[in-house]
Amino acid sequence: MTAPPTAWVFGTGGIGAAVRDRLTGEYRTVTFDRADDPGRAGAHHRVDLRDRAALATAARDAVLRWGPPAVVVLAFGTVSPATVEDAGPEDVDRVVGDNFVGCVNVLHVVHRTPRPDTCACLVVSSNAAQVARPGQPLYAATKAAVASLVRSLAPAWAPDGVRLVGVLPGTVTVSRNEERVRRQYPHAPADPARPGGRLVTPGELADFLAGLVPHAHHLTGQLLTYDGGSTLGAAR
């Protein structure tokens, strides 16, 4: 019996956990995060994604145990209200490191890892990459950098079989931001202010990501906004 293909999921927070659960069964899922992923001994690597050497070691171990990845999902990052006028160097390092440097390191390691002929690499950014965020300028800038990275790498890596797609969700309610989201959106998950009428859930985003994989052979360099039209509302 042929073993299912392997999927690597970077990040085990609300979005990453939903992606892991959605892909498990169809794929052998391997997770990477600096936090633990309980109950996944051998299939989880506790590693700081900002540490490229440690990440490379974890990736080599994952290939030996589970084989090379056919699917890679980057679903990690830190939302921050840090501003240019007030943020100290440590605040800047944290936002840039968690949201951009970690992404660069993961993509670097993936490109140097043996892969099948086609590897679908789905990079979760944010719709903050597309609109002005006066209250989150550093966060928005790092997400814009990630989106630009996807577009720049896509044509360069296409001959190597790597298909890069950026997915830009709006606000996704997860456990760590639930209190803040409910303050901002008192009727959550409903949000009458956006054309779609509500916020997206981690499970819905995971379904959307999984649905892209079968079409990865003909997708690369796209930035797909998945936010219920909230960026359209911001443009009004």
pLDDT digits (tens, 9 = 90+) for 70-113: 999 999 999 899 999 999 999 999 999 999 999 999 999 999 99
CB neighbour list of residue 45: distance below 8 Å, 6 or more residues apart: 30, 31, 32, 58, 61, 62
Of 199 and 181, more confident: 199
- The side-by-side arrangement of strands in the sheet containing 119-124 is 44-46, 28-33, 6-10, 69-74, 119-124, 162-169, 223-226
Identify the pLDDT of residue 42.
81
pLDDT digits (tens, 9 = 90+) for 35-66: 999 888 789 999 999 999 999 999 999 999 99
| Tokens coding 188 | 């959550």
Identify the pLDDT of residue 233.
62
Residue 181 has pLDDT above 80, yes or no: no
- Strand boundaries in the chain, DSSP class E: 6-10, 28-33, 44-46, 69-74, 119-124, 162-169, 223-226
Q: What is the C-alpha separation between 121 and 110, in angstroms, rounded?
A: 9
Identify the pLDDT of residue 54.
98
Q: What is the mean pLDDT of residues 120-142?
A: 95
Residues 136, 81 contacting (CB under 8 angstroms): yes
- Strand boundaries in 125-203, DSSP class E: 162-169
Q: In whole numbers, what is the pLDDT of the chain averaged over residues? A: 90
Identify the pLDDT of residue 187.
66
Q: What is the mean pLDDT of residues 126-139?
A: 94
Identify the pLDDT of residue 57.
97
Residue 17 has pLDDT above 90, yes or no: yes
* 3-class DSSP string for 31-89: EEECCCCCCCCCCEEECCCCCHHHHHHHHHHHHHHHCCEEEEEECCCCCCCCCCCCCCH
Percent of the chain with pLDDT over 70: 89
| Tokens coding 211 | 């649905």
Domain ranges of the chain: 6-235
Q: What is the mean pLDDT of residues 171-177?
A: 68
Identify the pLDDT of residue 235.
44
Residue 174 has pLDDT above 70, yes or no: no
* Residue 10 pLDDT class (50, 70, 90 cuts): very high
Identify the pLDDT of residue 236.
39
Q: Which amino acid is at 71?
A: V
Domain 6-235 fold is Rossmann fold (3.40.50)
CA distance from start to end of the chain:
55
Identify the pLDDT of residue 232.
81
Residue 121 has pLDDT above 50, yes or no: yes
